């Protein structure tokens, strides 16, 4: 520590616990305006969100202030005095060379001195991270200090952005991606945009985006055609088979047999020697339907004896027929461009930004995709990214990050649900993806509804305002015990303000995320202005037409 900061004593420890410490503020700094000057900046002694260092002999512990209170005491004559206390969360140690080490191995005892920490000390702590020049915002306690994260830890080991509706999740995601592309010009990202917030069509049909036009590739899932034959067996089961149906196991077994047969036929036609149930090659959906229908209606002995599978596939045939007849599923079940095995390479080029237009981020707009099939499509996008790099010999030079907006919708916590297969696929990416250069950034407003496996694989968390007690408790359980009390700060965060926890930051940090430029299309509806100056009439016929054609643009 510098001599100047060491001389600014603000308190002494009164209690030391394994998960925190309490300190009494000195009388001179227990005033109504306890202002102290550190270098060129003035701060309030011991204010919430600020850092302090505890010194005792050779021990130096850096801590974060997260609570402050006062307590009255009376002397023998009945005169009242007030003591001010602060609660501290230890976040790391400072050795004799003033180098920051995460985690606390040596704890001080009550009576140890507590000193204020200024900008110069914070700079020493964050200096290693500043070399990355990956800045995301300003420290809440020191507005002149800009925070840089470690991109290797953030993107290489999965991360989560958590916050309730209106806390600034879309703002944070947009700002993070904008500064990622600025710091790393060869970024490769794929975003699942469920609500059309990051790329959208103007009334004239042109594309507007929250990212630079030359760096973004907009893909409308309805126009893209994500053909059924690229789906894995588990995803096809999710799409066509109700797992709660009594005959589900029989339907799944027969589908496996039919798929093997149809794919062997295609493999022979294209000269492919070995084929599995999940090999992404073309097969005829109509042919699969006819095989199920034939088995379901099979009779022997001139119609006197029913076949072994007679009547077993009634539910399957009804579900498949209804899916096939629903125009909303044409992009998936009736491909016009991608109706042969050779068309797969072009689709993958579009996904990873290597198509005719090179791009750093591919935004897959799922806003027009039927809600009940979005999970299957989302998992398919994730699986294609995973499989692409799994088989890519230069995967270490071409890492990909998959940004999953509203992740709780298709990576749910519940087990054995309708989309269990797609959930398992995304969890597999979380568990194995980083070995092959594929990481995930999950974005959710309800961490308690998100897969525990997914969150357990995340090493960094950007937590925005969260007032729900269950969600706060869940976040508290995600971080080390000593940092768990930081969850109490979550309800007081402002819009776009976040608590950064985990390996990407040297210590738990409260930061104001930079305002994105341009902003995503996620601003709340202005009821006041709309109800004062809004339209007197609407094109109801046009709304009906959009509804019928499933066109939201």
Q: What is the mean pLDDT of each run of 10 residues along the chain (553 residues)?
A: 59 90 92 81 82 89 89 79 90 80 87 86 78 88 84 93 88 94 93 88 82 90 82 84 84 93 92 89 93 84 68 87 83 86 88 87 86 76 87 93 87 73 81 92 89 89 89 78 67 87 84 90 78 89 81 62
| Nearest partner of 86 among 43, 37, 140, 26, judged by Cα | 26
Long-range Cβ contacts of 127-134 (<8 Å, 24+ apart)? 128/506, 129/505, 129/506, 132/183, 133/183, 134/179, 134/180, 134/183, 134/184
Give the span between the Cα atoms of 62 and 89, in whole angstroms: 9
Give a yes or no: residue 352 inside a domain: no
131 Cβ neighbours under 8 A, 6+ residues apart: 148
Structure confidence at residue 481 (pLDDT) = 54
Neighbour tally for 116: CB within 10 Å: 24
d(CA 10, CA 319): 70
Task: Quick: pLDDT tens for 403-414.
Answer: 998 888 778 887
How high is the pLDDT of residue 419? 65
Token code pair at residue 260: 């093997």
Does a structural domain hold residue 544? no
Nearest in space to 384 (alpha carbons), one of 432, 424, 351: 351
Residue that is last in its domain, among 74, 97, 128: 128
Count of structural domains within the chain: 3
3-state secondary structure of 311: coil
Q: Are residues 517 and 387 in the same domain?
A: yes
Given a contact cutoff of 8 angstroms between Cβ atoms, the answer to whether 215 and 428 are in contact is: no
- The pLDDT value given to residue 75: 74
Residue 19 and residue 123 in one domain: yes
- Give the DSSP letter of residue 55: E
Q: Is 403 helix (H, G, I), strand (E, B) or coil?
A: strand
Distance of alpha carbon 375 from alpha carbon 409, whole angstroms: 7
- Regarding whether 403 and 520 lie in a shared domain, the answer is yes
Quick check: helix, strand or coil at residue 465? coil
From 82, 100, 128, the end of a domain falls on: 128
Question: How would you classify the pairing of strands 460-463 and 159-162?
Answer: parallel
Q: What tokens does 250 get?
A: 């029989």
Looking only at the bridges linking them, the beta strands covering 100-102 and 113-116 are unpaired
Question: Quick check: 488 and 508 in contact, CB under 8 A?
Answer: no
Q: Residue 32 has which token pair? A: 């109504």
Q: Which residues pair with 510 in a beta bridge?
A: 499
Could you tell me if residue 271 is inside a domain? Answer: yes
CA dist 253 and 237 (Å) reads: 10
CATH of the domain at 216: 3.40.50.300
Same domain? 171 vs 46: no
**What's the CA gap between 408 and 448, in Å, rounded?**
9
Model confidence, pTM: 0.80
- State residue 401's pLDDT score: 95
Residues 176 and 244 in one domain: no
Please check whether residues 165 and 36 belong to one and the same domain.
no
> Are residues 408 and 443 both part of a single domain?
yes
Decide if 462 contacts 159 (C-beta within 8 A): yes
In a domain? residue 413: yes
E strands, 290-387, are: 299-300, 305-306, 361-365
**Count of C-beta atoms within a 10 Å radius of residue 236:** 22
Q: Is 498 exposed, middle or buried (0-12, 13-18, 19+ CB in 10 A)?
A: buried
Residue 265 and residue 385 in one domain: no
Residue 536, in any domain of the structure: no
Task: Give the Å distances, CA to CA, from 519 to 169, 201, 286, 431.
Answer: 12, 15, 45, 33
Q: Are residues 371 and 473 in the same domain?
A: yes
Q: Vertex 490, ends 486 and 495: CA angle to 5°?
A: 140
Residue ranges making up the domain that contains 62: 8-128
| Cβ-contact 20, 90 below 8 angstroms | yes
The Cα–Cα gap between 77 and 59 comes to 40
- The answer to whether residue 533 is domain-embedded is no
319-328: b or e for each residue (b if 16 or more CB lie within 10 Å)? bbeebeeeeb
Same domain, 88 and 203: no
pLDDT at residue 2, as a whole number: 40
Assigned domain for 333 exists: no
Same domain, 152 and 269: no
Same domain, 519 and 466: yes
Helix axes 344-351, 374-390, angle to 10 degrees: 90
Residue 159 domain-assigned (yes or no): yes
Q: Which residues are registered as beta bridge partners of 31?
A: none
């Amino acid at each position: 520590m510098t001599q100047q900061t060491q001389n600014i004593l603000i308190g002494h420890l009164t209690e030391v616990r394994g998960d925190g410490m309490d300190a009494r503020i000195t009388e001179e700094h227990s005033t109504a305006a306890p202002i102290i000057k550190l270098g060129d900046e003035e701060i309030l002694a011991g204010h919430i969100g600020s850092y302090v260092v505890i010194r005792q002999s050779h021990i130096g512990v850096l801590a974060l202030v997260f609570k402050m209170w006062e307590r009255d005491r009376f002397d023998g004559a009945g005169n009242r005095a007030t003591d001010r206390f602060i609660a501290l969360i230890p976040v790391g140690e400072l050795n004799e060379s003033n180098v920051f080490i995460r985690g606390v191995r040596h704890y001080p005892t009550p009576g140890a001195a507590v000193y204020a920490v200024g900008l110069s000390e914070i700079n020493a702590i964050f200096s290693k991270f500043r070399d990355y020049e990956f800045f995301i915002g300003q420290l809440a306690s020191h507005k002149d200090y800009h925070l840089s994260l470690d991109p290797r830890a953030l993107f290489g080991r999965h991360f989560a952005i958590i916050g309730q509706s209106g806390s600034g999740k879309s703002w944070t995601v947009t700002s993070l991606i904008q500064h990622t592309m600025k710091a790393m010009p060869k970024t490769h990202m794929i975003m699942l945009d469920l609500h059309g917030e990051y790329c959208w069509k103007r009334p004239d049909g042109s594309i507007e985006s929250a990212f630079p036009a030359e760096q973004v590739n907009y893909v409308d899932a309805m126009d893209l055609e994500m053909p059924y034959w690229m789906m894995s067996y588990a995803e096809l089961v999710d799409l066509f088979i109700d797992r709660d149906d009594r005959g589900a196991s029989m339907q799944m077994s027969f589908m496996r047999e039919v798929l093997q047969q149809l794919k062997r036929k295609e493999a022979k036609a294209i000269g492919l020697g070995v084929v599995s149930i999940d090999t992404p090659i073309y097969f005829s959906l109509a042919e699969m339907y006819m095989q199920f229908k034939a088995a379901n209606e099979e009779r022997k002995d001139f119609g006197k004896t029913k076949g072994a599978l007679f009547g077993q596939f009634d539910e399957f045939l009804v579900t498949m027929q209804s899916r096939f007849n629903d125009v909303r599923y044409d992009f998936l079940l009736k491909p016009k461009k991608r109706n042969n095995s050779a068309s797969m390479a072009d689709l993958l080029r579009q996904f990873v930004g290597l198509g005719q237009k090179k791009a750093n981020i591919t935004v897959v707009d799922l806003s027009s995709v039927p809600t009940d099939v979005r999970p299957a499509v989302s998992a398919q996008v994730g699986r294609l990214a995973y499989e692409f790099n799994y088989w890519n010999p230069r995967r270490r030079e071409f890492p990909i990050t998959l940004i999953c907006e509203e992740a709780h919708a298709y990576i749910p916590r519940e087990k054995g649900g309708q989309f269990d297969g797609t959930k398992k696929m995304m969890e597999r990416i979380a568990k194995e993806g980083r070995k092959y250069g594929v990481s995930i950034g999950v974005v959710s407003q309800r961490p308690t509804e998100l897969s525990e496996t997914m969150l357990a694989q995340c090493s960094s968390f950007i937590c925005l305002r969260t007032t729900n007690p269950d969600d706060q408790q869940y976040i508290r359980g995600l971080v080390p015990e000593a940092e768990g009390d930081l969850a109490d700060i979550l309800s007081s965060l402002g819009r776009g303000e976040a608590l950064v926890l985990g390996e990407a930051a040297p210590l738990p940090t409260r930061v104001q995320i930079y305002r994105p430029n341009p902003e995503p299309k996620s601003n709340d509806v202005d009821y006041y202005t709309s109800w004062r100056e809004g339209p007197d009439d609407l094109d109801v016929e046009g709304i009906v037409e959009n509804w019928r054609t499933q066109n939201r643009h």
